[in-house]
Structure 1
Amino acid sequence: MKIKLSDFLRPLLAGALLLGSVTAVTTAAAEVRQLDRIVAIVDNDVIMQSQLDQRIREVQQTIEKRGAEMPPADVMQQQVLERLITENLQLQIGERSGIRISDEELNQAMGTIAQRNNMTLDQFRAALERDGLSLDTAREQIRREMVISRVRQRRIAERVQVSNQEVENFLASDLGKMQLSEEYRLANILIPVPESADSATIETAEKLAMDTYQQLQQGADFATLAASRSASENALEGGDMGWRKAAQLPPPFDTEVSAMSVGDVTQPVRTPPGFILLKVLEKRGGDTQVRDEIHVRHILIKPSQIRSEEESRRLIERLRDRIIAGESFADLAKNFSEDPGSALNGGDLNWVDPSSLVPEFQEVMANTPGGQLSEPFKTPYGWHILEVLGRRATDASEEVREQQALSLLRNRKYEEELQNWLRQIRDEAYVEIKI
């Protein structure tokens, strides 16, 4: 089974730095092997040939598995090196900002990835090794991506604000009503135009964009052209942008994709970064959102320094016996429960979405008939008993729509800010390419 770290954390696929020289001397003659050399100086750091070669190999494997045609070697090298430069700049910002990823956080991330692949950590390690990736290399990839994610969170995400009025206006708009019904998996090709480009440069880029569009209309593979021509960050993934709501896209794409079928490609559109073409890979969504809810109340007894685990278990058992004997659940919850959020309400959690509760609580709640007391059970919070008071299916479409609108507007602002910021840090950096 191929482990795709990109399902959870975008893979960086960078090799280890080989900073020393390698020589081999025999008794007959001295054979000097090629040194691992610097291919780019990026502000206060460097990118080594070994890193570039490792990343190129990984990208080639990805393209091969996708069955797409390889872009020319020089184009791939340029694309990969540019991505390494951008990543390196963000890592340096993280270093200067004091961002550190602890071993505990890394272990949790590795465990999460293994769990989502339905594997134990040992199985995950074995699968990585079968794919030629050691656990240490995978940990380093994840560490780098976590640093970059936190840098972006501090520099970009914290500045992005969406007001309630913006959400309301969007939901009331014709575009909002239309776009919340569907989402699209898209791919893009960006033919870049420098900010200070003259008319001749713009005309050349436009001709290349139109030539790309015409080739696509004649059946050329979108992913192959993206890998060889696009300047977008996702070019080496065939331009795949993942799932997007149309409202996340800048005009005129936000309205165009709604009228497109799967497989359609837009004509090139001039934007600040250059000429962009979009392809619709898949569509989904538009159904009513129904959510199961359960009305439940509980009593929680927590072990403490003055009450052992066993004493807590015995106390919850006695409280259950008293309720069965006729005492009020609500009164006992008010007097004994140590859940501050529900004790004053007689232990009542009201209607809850089961997925919002810990797995142990979910399981007991699902297996307890309405109107009956559960057996005592343990969660990370302590010992519980619960009573299910009712079950219902709720149309949560409006709530989901509001959350979708909030997410769409925030993501749209985030993507715009991110692209501008990445271009800014690249333009302001000292970069000397040595190849």
Structure 2
Amino acid sequence: MIKTRLATPLLHLIGAFSLCSALVAQAETEILDRVIVVVDNGVVLQSEFDERKNSVLQRLEGQYDQLPPAEVLNQQILDQLILEQLQLEEAGRYGMEISDQQLNQTLQQVMSNNGFSTLDELASDLVKQGMSLDQLREKLNRDLLINQVQQGVVNNRIRVTEQEINNFLASSDGKFATSPDYHLGHILISVASSASPDEVKKAETKVNDIYQQLLAGEDFSKMAIANSNDQTALEGGDLGWRKLAQLPELFSDVVGELKIGDVSKPIRSGAGFHLLKNIEQRGGGEQLVQQTKARHILIKISEIMDDDTAKEKLLKIKAEIEDGADFAELARENSEDIGSMLEGGDLGWANPGMFVPAFESAMATTEIDEITEPFKSQFGWHILQVTDRRQEDMSDLVIRNKAAQMMRDRRFDEELQVWLLELRENAYLDIKELDSDA
């Protein structure tokens, strides 16, 4: 990259009554950067290489006494930059972009993870590291684009069949992975193996008293701190997240029957008496989802149909329906949503998140049989009518989706490496010589 710099102007005064001469500028050129690799339609610059190498060296020098030879390290860094450039070009081919909202959310996450409450605090810390806020945003944008193209392309290459899902769910590994997780609280009133019948009776009375207090609303963690003999007592009896298969059979049979917030009756074991609480639960039980059945009429915007005209047309259609006209018939005659017009605008049963935000919001705030006012989405102007709502148990579907995603995750890294290898093999590369100081 060439940068032009103007020399300091030299003013010549020629006598008291002479005119000022024109400013004389001498253009100087300074080479600030150079291309070290041509990657298809993009490039890798020497400055990018130097910046990455400095970052890698800072990290490695704090971890290892002996670093790899310079030529090995240089090649590793160069390969990394080439692959990143290839993935960025793929993202460009697919038209992928990172929205300002997504970038700002990621920046907020960076601030939160590093204990910064304001952008000024973050910017001040970045200066100490030789980086600006704009450079960080550029890096985050680059990383997000690469992650987005990886997720999109690689996941699309992975195929998981229904039979593979069935086989996985039938395996012990699959059963364990898809089983519920329980966040458990535990109180132990210990009883020594040599305890007398009176001592056992005393412990039993104590645990029953604690149990009754918990049923009456007493705080479980406080009771654990005050009474439990378990090693988790000072943490309020918190056992963390456990699967049933990770619990003693004596506990798993009981926990599986507890609803969230429930406390078990006292459980007798060789160690004493136990109380268990199901604090939270992930998975298992009914996965009830509210589904909505709706129909709509869409009018798209065009050169001959502006916003006002589309809105006015839908207002007239709405008035006709409210006067007794058939919604389905008017949808077949007027709607420009090819997917639903032949069905009288019927969209079928929909789960939350299936439609764009404007449509979801209108559908969620509309009563059954009510027709909305015209509203606009990215597709055009709509009116919709909610015809029914129901609670549907999606447990089986949730489990199968979870199993399929786990299988994709397991195959992702291997398929990613295959894809990256293909990218490299099919790319045009023209690798220049690195600076001797690199």
For normalisation by structure 2, the TM-score amounts to 0.52
2:62 pairs with 1:73:
yes
Distance change (3 Å), C-alpha of 1:326 and 1:402 = same
| Alignment partner of 1:357 is 2:371 | no
* CA distance in 2 between partners of 1:360 and 1:96 (Å): 36
Match of 2:401 in 1: 403
CA distance change for structure 1 residues 96 and 331 in 2, over 3 Å: closer, same or farther?
closer
Change (3 A) 1:131 1:336: farther
- For 2:374, the equivalent position in structure 1 comes to 376
**1:114 has 2:108 as partner:** no
Aligned-partner Cα distance in 1 for 2:106–2:87: 31
Any idea what SS the aligned residue of 2:376 has? strand
Task: Give the Cα separation in 1 of the matches to 2:332 and 2:319.
Answer: 17
How big is the shift at 1:134?
Answer: 3.0
Aligned partner (choices 409, 412, 433) of residue 410 of structure 2: 412
2:328 corresponds to 1:336: no
Number of corresponding residues: 291
Query: How far apart are residue 327 of structure 1 and its match?
Result: 0.5
- Structure 2 CA distance for partners of 1:390 and 1:181, relative to 1, 3 Å: same
* Closer/same/farther in 2, CA of residues 152 and 385 from structure 1, 3 Å limit: closer
**Which amino acid is 1:412 matched to?**
R
State whether residues 90 and 148 of structure 1, in contact with CA within 8 Å, keep that contact through their aligned partners in structure 2: no
Higher mean displacement: 159-168 or 417-426:
417-426
Given that residues 52 and 77 in structure 2 are in contact (C-alpha distance below 8 angstroms), is that contact kept between their aligned partners in structure 1?
Answer: no
Cα offset for 1:104?
Answer: 12
User: What's the offset of the Cα at 1:258?
Assistant: 6.0
- Is the CA contact (8 Å cut-off) linking 2:83 and 2:420 kept in structure 1? no
Does the aligned pair in 2 maintain the 1:101–1:146 contact within 8 Å?
no
* Equivalent position of 1:177 in the other structure: 175
Task: Extract unaligned runs of 5+ from structure 1.
Answer: 1-16, 18-40, 60-70, 185-254, 262-282
Larger Rg: 2
Asked whether 1:89 is paired with 2:79, we answer yes
- Quick check: 1:86–1:422 contact (8 Å CA) kept in 2? no
Asked if 2 retains the 8 angstrom alpha-carbon contact of 1:125 and 1:134, the reply is no
After superposition, the Cα gap between the structure-2 partners of 1:48 and 1:415, relative to the gap in structure 1 and judged at 3 Å, is closer
Q: Give the distance between the partners of 1:322 and 1:151, measured in 2 at CA.
A: 48
Give the conservation status (yes or no) of the 8 Å contact 1:365–1:388.
Answer: yes
Partner of 2:288: 290
1: CA distance, partners of 2:61 / 2:81: 29
Equivalent position of 1:136 in the other structure: 134
CA deviations 1:174-208 (Å, max 9, x no partner) are 32222112579xxxxxxxxxxxxxxxxxxxxxxxx
Equivalent in 146, 158, 161 of residue 159 of structure 2: 161
> Following TM superposition, by how much is the alpha carbon of 1:291 offset from its aligned partner in structure 2, in angstroms?
1.7
**Residue identity opposite 2:291 in structure 1:** E
Deviation for aligned residue 1:158: 5.5
Shift in CA distance, 316/402, structure 1 to aligned 2, threshold 3 Å: same
Contact 1:365 1:386 in 2 (8 A): yes
- Tell me the distance in 1 between the aligned counterparts of 2:407 and 2:93: 35
Moved more, 365-374 or 148-157: 148-157
Alpha-carbon distance in 1 for matches of 2:66, 2:82: 22
Query: 2-side partners of 1:141 and 1:303: how far apart?
Result: 38
Deviation per CA, 1:275-310, whole angstroms, max 9, x where unpaired?
Answer: xxxxxxxx9733343222111111111122222221
Structure 2, unmatched stretches of 5+, are 2-36, 110-116, 183-242, 249-279, 425-430
C-alpha change, 1:356 and 1:183, in structure 2 (3 Å) is same
Amino acid corresponding to residue 404 of structure 2 in structure 1: L
Q: In structure 1, give the amino acid aligned to 2:162.
A: N
Amino acid at match of 1:298: H
* Counterpart secondary structure, 1:326: coil
Aligned residue in 1 for 2:237: none
Instruction: Give, in angstroms, the shift of residue 172 of structure 1.
Output: 2.5
Maintained 8 Å contact 1:301/1:338: yes
Deviation at 1:416, TM superposition (A): 3.9
Q: 1:145 corresponds to which residue?
A: 143
Q: Distance in 1 between matches of 2:150 and 2:397?
A: 28
Equivalents in 1 of 2:93, 2:417: separation in Å? 31
> 5 Å matches for 1:6-405?
50-54=51-55, 73-75=62-64, 88-93=78-83, 95=85, 99=89, 108-115=98-105, 129-132=123-126, 133-142=131-140, 144-145=142-143, 148-149=146-147, 157=155, 159-182=157-180, 259=246, 285-288=282-285, 289-405=287-403
Paired with 1:320 and 1:157, the residues of 2 have a C-alpha distance of 43
Q: Give the superposition deviation at 1:167.
A: 1.3
What secondary structure, in the 3-state scheme, does the structure 2 residue paired with 1:338 have? coil
Does the 8 Å contact 2:168/2:174 carry over to 1?
A: yes
CA distance in 2, matches of 1:424, 1:91: 16
RMSD (Å), alpha carbons: 5.2
Q: Is the Cα–Cα contact under 8 Å of residues 296 and 386 in structure 1 kept in the other structure?
A: yes
CA distance in 2, matches of 1:382, 1:423: 43
CA deviations on 1:118-159 (whole Å, 9 max, x unpaired) are 79xxx9976752542534313432354356547856996565
Map of 2:227 onto structure 1: none
Cα distance 1:293–1:415, how it changes in 2: closer, same or farther (>3 A)? same
- Give the distance between the partners of 1:401 and 1:294, measured in 2 at CA: 22
Measured in 2, the distance between the counterparts of 1:337 and 1:375 equals 16
Counterpart secondary structure, 1:108: coil
**Shift of residue 350, structure 1, vs aligned partner:** 1.2
CA contact (8 A) 2:90 2:149 kept: no
Q: What are the superposed Cα offsets for residues 372-401 of structure 1, whole Å, 9 maximum, x if unpaired? A: 111121111111111111222211111121
Instruction: Give the aligned residue type for 1:73.
Output: G
Deviation of the 1:168 alpha carbon: 1.7
Q: Partner letter of residue 289 of structure 2?
A: R
For the residues of structure 2 that align with 1:258 and 1:421, how far apart are their CA atoms? 37
